């Protein structure tokens, strides 16, 4: 009791030096167009993670068996998008330089860009698996190049064609769907074909970005732009069960917006997905 | 900026003269027995429609390709059921007289009665497709003939036997289910058989009424009388995909109650269904 | 109007003497670890039951055909777990002594222990069917033997091995899952195999305990510890359809927490399940 | 426990025959123009009254010292304003005929009209004290004569000039304020002058109608049309302290709308005012 | 009905050309540090203004007597603070150039800066009356010069010493309070002395900025950073009663955050203050 | 960033050894009779304290000038009242033994008992200042001696007559008010006379217990049993301004229930009161 109050996500309580995975919060929602508030996600998830068990009956693995460090949240200046992205990139690089795997909790989806950049700098031959309701492929959004609605387009500018696999997509402009046919591998509505992709990418370095709004709003109402027609929670468990065969070198889950999560259920969903994702990434 | 603030559902921004479809709000909830508030639905849907894209990846059609006019809401006197129904009938008639298709946003389900009346006056050989959790077939409700709980019975009095197809029904009095066996075509719980019905009705004039509480409350909590056990959002997308082969001459979606929609998800669901319904009705 | 205001769950309005089934509330949540408030469940369910029909299209049975007495809520002292459990046991015994079937509305899951005790005292050869997201098999919880997290372990101490069938379980400590392999029949995630169990138990006396958090939080957010990944409402209808072939001599449904049920949907779900359960238990 | 579940407001548990005061609910909100839901008020107040003590430190009186009967709620048909008003009038008359004082819980303010009518029929020389944020003096509202916005105008048609005293009024059309100058005694914003009025009315029969939105929305947010600038709770305690010197032969409190009372505080306020009002009316 | 749906704040329905006052929304919350969401304020206020009367019993004036144009909301790019401020400045200038008075609805407080700039460009000899809970006088906030927490400091850089009067201030860093002693006229907690200031400024051009969080959170919970200890609604009515003697050439009200206004009361408060402010500014 | 995530109330970040004051959470609500949930208060207050400044313009003191240690929350077993009280007493004793002042964040009011016990053991000549809406003087509550409704009676058993001063009391049984006349100094409704009491107690050791429900529910809705008619926030600031002249050797603030604090305002109120209380207690 007389040590200071240490505060981490449940089970992410190892020392930095010993850890294989470093979880950190990127509480940024500065380009959110519809309903802001994803900035509160990492802190709320830490709080509510104590409703979770450390053991996963899905993967039959326990957080107590692995080493994860929770670095807390980055502290951002408000209203300066550019500076925020730089801070994320820098932090992710330092984690990667120490030979660890960064797992980021957003914040809005734009935070994925600097995180992928940091990973890309280390591993040029990288693939991105993108789970989302939205294409996120606009050239710009109301004149802005850096936006949650353009983030995967920006990632594509970095990686080029045939590096990005998109699943669950059910909303976007017609032009984005057309563009995707030429530059990414986009699967509408579902995660059909994921197993084939994973087989193909075995042995490759992979970055996984999960926009939680891929889930149906019945399962996950607490997000900025709820899109009816999404996948269910057990689909996500299946997805992670498939992903565990990959060599994941960076990952994020984004777009939980706790103030739209009146019942607390979306936070519980996000916490369980994070537990499963971290267990799936960990090697032993 | 210096034009007055025009305010429509997203993409329903054509001029009246040019439009094939006329959308209007009927914000009436005067006979609601359990939880009132559907009166707020049309205005809230206009507001929240800006979280929606105009493009449908389900139908591969875009609202920008068609002509829809949003006439705003009818202004009703409170506490006078009869006068309200007359106003709706009169408005729907004027739309029909101008050769356009009326699509009404409720309000409670009783608003369907005058809308069907207006359509029936023009097209006597009309069929009604009714999607709902409730039978709505009572002879009266606490002594009242005009009620959300009696509306389809009143429609039947107009159209007679074998004109009404009911889907998704999972709540009502035993007597209503018995009565339906003799006078309507009622399918319990699901939309099984819809495809056959649609094939049979090809070439006929059809009115479609969607009580959104046909959806499971997990998908659509924001309604007056939530009935667990309903269909899912993707079922509704399937239904509309089937309906698009019909000659729909009038339609409505009713029973969104925004004040019970804390997360905003029900409104998002209603908006997307309206977009799809209008795209499915439009001819080109 | 000039009789005093009698207040029961819809359709549970017979006299005690005439009734086959006695429903009562056990508004206790004293060991709840995460989010308290199940104490409000029975009263809120009575209030909201008036949104329900008495007729079940699932079972084609009507509450008006059977005799059920609603005894109201037991009145508990706050902060004294032991005394509360004694009061429940005593009340359940008196119901059983009068040749009736007790059906209890929790409250948290610990209330199941005294209810099973009362039934066990009358029928030694009893089996327990346990529907839940959680194992509830801990030896103790933060040093306490009597807890919602230990309740099925305590029941096992009473009944011994091979008497308890658990379905839908998706959360617990690794040790609990291991322990269950030796002492209970635990089915992870689903209710697969229920039909076989029911066939095996035909003719036996059975106690059914339904922790409503077996349902997915999309269906049932209003509970203390929401666990994503659960069964759907129609699964529960199927389960009750199977259970109706058993000789059920006691039952409970627990863990509705109305203050986390902003939309009222969880309460509607609980009410409908109670209607179905009581109809399934009743003999005629 | 084995008596049926009797359900009254706390302390209103005497038999009808013995009671001096009869409390009843009039759950009608059919003409509400802004936010409906006052229909839920009487039931919610009964539920929440158990957070209240029976003893008033303001009046140093206890509900256990007096005889009050809670008749429950009248059951209304939905959508038929006329029939509802008739039912209220008839019930209030029967109470008055039995020599008792009716105290009504609304519902919206229109329910005051039939209640005053019943009292007026018995005591022609009646005065009305009206506490409200709104004038309620329109000739009609959107064409309707019977409306929450016209109710005091209708009462005036019954009683004539100089019979109505209005306090706390802070919202209305300019014309209503002008009209009031000629026909009622209207005090803007406060209850200044109430003591003089009460002195003048000593020995007269008085009807008291309290629209709870006279309270500032900080104190009482749970109402259909919140009007900032109102009186505080302790002002209301002072008002009732003054009123207790009158010969009150009928009363009501209206316009609690529980679904806009997220914190439960408005309901607590309404319950305490009802307790105080009933204690002030009772004679011993 | 067949005109397009025009949508304005109640009573602000004159044509631009005829109007003395132009109201517009600045839905920006990009630098909000605690709880974002003021971007929703202008649209929600328009919606809810229909619960308001056009007549003010405080000022005995009616919106129907004056000419106000509601220009709708400016459309901002997300995540680009600089561009947003430029758009506001440009719009305010165009209004001023047309000889009209701009009244802006925020958004967060930073939007005041470009609005004051536009006014200052036209009237160099301008004074600012600042009503707020917070000093807003930081040199920078987490490294950013443009922030809701620095906005009055930026205004001071434009206007210099002795031009700014601050009232109601009850939160800030010690250094800000010290700095204010040398550069502004800061009144802690209350609006004491306002009458003297107004007398001194008679005949001068004045800009009024009202951060609604000057109100106590009991009155106005719906704001990003609620600060207990504020003034009451009737204080604000008094303030506006005093201000009406000034020559106000520009004004704003900021920091309503509707998603934290569960009861709708804060929005009602904001709407009434806007009505009063506009009535007080208007000359006839 | 690479230190572990330390998590304290804002400004309470000194080391234990250096601190004059030790703040700790007692998240217990096991005897709460109406609405549970005060267990969440200390954690939520830590989270939300970051909306607060460290500087108090009321006391012109800054948390950065003093030394306070935040010890986090005690971890309690659920359902065992006795053990919880022992843990609190033991912790408070250890703080007192180290020559520091314990300041406890409840939890429900019963937690005051062990805290006073610990202080009493060290300083026998202790006085208790009790700020509350409720008498808390029952001999027992539904048969239980240890209850939030009996806590001051239990404290009296320890200290005897004329040691307890109660302010703001406005709810209780008649018998409690009678009893108080003989054994404590009880002031109804207000804090009138506090200054005299403080003058009398100068130089004495004093324990201060603040049940936040002394505040009016308009100011502080987020509590288990809201009691209309309370004091305002500025009254509380005055109270603390008076208390700062005392030699306070222990203190607590209790009964914030965050799940009933939808707007977050109650938490903001509690945080500011805690800041002021700690500043008032600190000596320099």
What is the SS3 assignment for B45-114?
HHHHHHHCCCEECCCCEEHHHCCEEEEEECCCCCCEHHHHHHHHHHHHHHHHHCCCEEEEEECCHHHHHH
Q: Which domain holds residue B105?
A: 16-281
Distance (Å, whole) CA C212 – CA C105: 11
Kindly report the average pLDDT of chain C as a whole number. 95
For residues C206 and C225, the answer to whether their CB atoms sit within 8 Å is no
Q: How many CB pairs under 8 A join A and F?
A: 45
> Is the CB of C173 less than 8 angstroms away from the CB of A55?
yes
The pLDDT value recorded for residue D7 is: 79
* Sheet arrangement for strand A247-254: A68-73, A21-26, A101-106, A247-254, A205-211, A126-131, A164-169, A185-188
Contacts 24+ apart (CB under 8 A), C39-42: C39/C107, C39/F36, C40/C257, C40/C258, C40/C259, C41/C105, C41/C106, C41/C107, C41/C255, C41/C256, C41/C257, C41/C258, C41/C270, C42/C73, C42/C105, C42/C106, C42/C107
Query: What tokens were used for E48?
Result: 């809810």
Give yes or no for a cis peptide into D107 (omega within 30° of 0).
Answer: yes
The 10s digit of each residue's pLDDT in E223-252 is 999 999 999 999 999 999 999 999 999 999
The pLDDT value recorded for residue C264 is: 92
Kindly report the average pLDDT of chain E as a whole number. 95
Contacts of D238 in chain F (CB under 8 A): none
ipTM, interface predicted TM-score of the complex: 0.95
Distance (Å, whole) CA F245 – CA F228: 30
Q: What percent of chain F has pLDDT over 90?
A: 90
Question: Other CB atoms closer than 10 Å to residue C199's CB: what's the count?
Answer: 10
F26: three-class secondary structure by DSSP? strand
Q: Which of C192, C215, C217, C260 to mutate to test the interface with A (most CBs of A within 10 A)?
A: C217
Distance (Å, whole) CA C31 – CA F79: 5
Confidence band, pLDDT 50/70/90 cuts, at residue A5: low
For residues C193 and C238, the answer to whether their CB atoms sit within 8 Å is no
Q: Average pLDDT for residues F150-175, to the nearest whole number?
A: 98
The pLDDT value recorded for residue F5 is: 61
Closest residue to C77, CB basis, from F32, F75, F143? F143
B127 lies in some domain: yes
Q: What percent of chain C has pLDDT over 70?
A: 98
Known binding residues of E for Mn(2+): 109, 132, 134, 136, 211, 213
The pLDDT value recorded for residue F7 is: 79
H helical segments located in A69-164: 81-97, 112-122, 151-159
Closest residue to F6, CB basis, from A4, A47, A74? A4
The counts of H helices and E strands in chain C are: 8, 10
CA torsion sign for B221, B226, B230, B236 is negative
Known binding residues of A: 109, 132, 134, 136, 211, 213
Q: Do chains F and A touch (3 or more CB pairs under 8 A)?
A: yes
H helical segments located in chain F: 41-48, 81-97, 112-122, 151-159, 174-183, 194-201, 233-243, 265-281
Distance (Å, whole) CA E118 – CA F90: 64
Contacts of D262 in chain F (CB under 8 A): 262
Confidence band, pLDDT 50/70/90 cuts, at residue C2: very low
Distance (Å, whole) CA C273 – CA B70: 42
Confidence band, pLDDT 50/70/90 cuts, at residue F4: low
pLDDT higher than 60, residue F28: yes
Distance (Å, whole) CA F50 – CA F52: 5
Q: How far is B70 from chain A (nearest CA, A)?
A: 22
The pLDDT value recorded for residue E105 is: 98
Known binding residues of B: 109, 132, 134, 136, 211, 213
> Among all chains, which residue has been given the structure tokens 């505040």?
F215
For residues A227 and B53, the answer to whether their CB atoms sit within 8 Å is no
Closest residue to A5, CB basis, from F1, F7, F47? F7
E126 lies in some domain: yes
The pLDDT value recorded for residue C34 is: 79
pLDDT higher than 50, residue C1: no
Q: Average pLDDT for residues D196-207, to the nearest whole number?
A: 97
Contacts of A72 in chain F (CB under 8 A): 1, 4-5
When divided into structural domains, chain A yields a total of 1
> Is the CB of A7 less than 8 angstroms away from the CB of F2?
no
Confidence band, pLDDT 50/70/90 cuts, at residue E5: low
Contacts of D142 in chain B (CB under 8 A): 75-78
Distance (Å, whole) CA E95 – CA E100: 6
Confidence band, pLDDT 50/70/90 cuts, at residue D60: very high
Each residue of B212-225: b (16+ CB within 10 Å) or e? bbbbbbbbbbbbbb
> Is the CB of F265 less than 8 angstroms away from the CB of E35?
no
> Which H/E stretch holds residue E91?
helix E81-97
The 10s digit of each residue's pLDDT in D111-152 is 999 999 999 999 999 999 999 999 999 999 988 999 999 999
H helical segments located in A98-150: 112-122
β-pairing, F55-56 vs F61-62, is antiparallel
pLDDT higher than 80, residue C6: no
Distance (Å, whole) CA F233 – CA F216: 8
A7 lies in some domain: no
> Which H/E stretch holds residue A104?
strand A101-106
The pLDDT value recorded for residue C3 is: 52
**What is the C-alpha radius of gyration for chain C, rounded to an integer number of angstroms?**
17
Q: Do chains C and E touch (3 or more CB pairs under 8 A)?
A: no
> Is the CB of B269 less than 8 angstroms away from the CB of A217?
yes
Q: Which of F57, F58, F231 to mutate to test the interface with E (most CBs of E within 10 A)?
A: F57
Distance (Å, whole) CA E39 – CA E33: 14
> Is the CB of B4 less than 8 angstroms away from the CB of E5?
no
Q: Which of E1, E17, E26 to mutate to test the interface with B (most CBs of B within 10 A)?
A: E1
Report the interhelical angle of B112-122 vs B81-97 (nearest 10°): 40
Distance (Å, whole) CA E253 – CA E274: 7
> Is the CB of E228 less than 8 angstroms away from the CB of F264?
no
β-pairing, D247-254 vs D101-106, is parallel
CA torsion sign for A127, A133, A139, A140 is negative
Q: Average pLDDT for residues E146-162, to the nearest whole number?
A: 97
The pLDDT value recorded for residue B142 is: 87
Question: Other CB atoms closer than 10 Å to residue A260's CB: what's the count?
Answer: 22
pLDDT higher than 50, residue D178: yes
> Is the CB of D2 less than 8 angstroms away from the CB of C8?
no
Closest residue to F144, CB basis, from C29, C37, C77? C77
* D234: nearest Cα among F169, F236, F228, F168: F228
Which phi and psi angles does D238 have, rounded to 5°? -60, -45
Each residue of B140-172: b (16+ CB within 10 Å) or e? ebbebebbbbbbbbbbbeebeeebbbbbbbbbb
For residues E141 and E147, the answer to whether their CB atoms sit within 8 Å is yes
Q: Do chains A and D touch (3 or more CB pairs under 8 A)?
A: no
For residues F22 and F103, the answer to whether their CB atoms sit within 8 Å is yes
* D241: nearest Cα among D280, D199, D203: D280
> Is the CB of B188 less than 8 angstroms away from the CB of C57?
yes
> What is the CATH classification number for the domain harbouring D185?
3.40.800.10
pTM for the complete prediction? 0.95
Q: How far is E229 from chain F (nearest CA, A)?
A: 6
Residue F150 DSSP code: T
The pLDDT value recorded for residue B36 is: 87
Neighbours of chain D (3+ CB pairs under 8 A): B, C, E, F
Residue E213 DSSP code: G
Distance (Å, whole) CA E237 – CA F137: 43
Query: What tokens were used for E236?
Result: 């604000």
Distance (Å, whole) CA A104 – CA E212: 36
Neighbouring residues of F71: CB distance < 8 A, sequence distance ≥ 6: A1, A2, A5, F16, F22, F23, F24, F91, F95
> Is the CB of F5 less than 8 angstroms away from the CB of A4?
no
The pLDDT value recorded for residue B262 is: 87
Closest residue to F47, CB basis, from A2, A8, A47? A47
Torsion, Cα E188 E193 E199 E203, to 10 degrees, reads 10
* Sheet arrangement for strand D21-26: D68-73, D21-26, D101-106, D247-254, D205-211, D126-131, D164-169, D185-188
pLDDT higher than 70, residue D4: no
CA torsion sign for F55, F61, F64, F70 is negative
Contacts of D5 in chain C (CB under 8 A): 6-8, 46, 70-73
Neighbours of chain A (3+ CB pairs under 8 A): B, C, E, F
The residues on F that touch A, with CB distances below 8 Å, are 1-2, 4-8, 16, 24, 43, 46-47, 70-74, 91
The pLDDT value recorded for residue B112 is: 98
Taking chain B (284 residues) in consecutive chunks of 10 residues, what is each chunk's mean pLDDT?
68 94 96 88 93 96 96 91 97 98 97 98 97 97 93 98 98 98 98 98 97 98 95 98 97 95 94 98 87
Q: How far is B91 from chain E (nearest CA, A)?
A: 9
């Amino acid at each position: 009791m007389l040590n200071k109050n240490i505060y981490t996500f449940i089970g992410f309580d190892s020392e930095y030096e010993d850890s294989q995975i470093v979880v950190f919060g990127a509480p940024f929602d500065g380009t959110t167009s519809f309903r802001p508030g994803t900035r509160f996600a990492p802190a709320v998830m830490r709080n509510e993670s104590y409703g979770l068990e450390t053991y996963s009956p899905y993967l039959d693995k326990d957080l107590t068996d692995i080493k994860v460090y929770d670095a807390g949240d980055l502290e951002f200046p408000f209203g300066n998008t550019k500076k925020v992205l730089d801070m994320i990139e820098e932090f992710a690089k330092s984690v990667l330089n120490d030979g660890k795997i960064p797992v980021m909790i957003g914040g809005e989806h734009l935070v994925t860009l600097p995180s992928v950049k940091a990973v890309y700098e280390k591993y040029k031959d990288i693939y991105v698996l993108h789970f989302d309701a939205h294409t996120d492929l606009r050239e710009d959004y109301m004149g802005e190049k850096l936006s949650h609605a353009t983030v995967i387009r920006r990632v594509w500018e970095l990686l080029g064609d045939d590096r990005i696999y998109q699943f669950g997509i059910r909303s976007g402009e017609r032009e984005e769907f057309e563009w995707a046919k030429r530059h990414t591998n986009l699967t509408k509505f579902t995660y059909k074909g994921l197993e084939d992709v994973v087989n193909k990418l075995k042995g490759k370095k992979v970055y996984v970005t999960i926009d939680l709004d891929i889930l149906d709003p019945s399962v996950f109402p607490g997000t900025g732009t709820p899109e009816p027609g999404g996948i269910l929670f057990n689909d996500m468990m299946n997805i992670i069960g498939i992903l565990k065969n990959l060599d994941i070198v960076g990952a994020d889950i984004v777009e939980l917006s706790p103030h739209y999560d009146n019942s607390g259920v979306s936070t519980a969903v996000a916490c369980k997905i994070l537990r499963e994702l971290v267990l799936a990434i960990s090697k032993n």
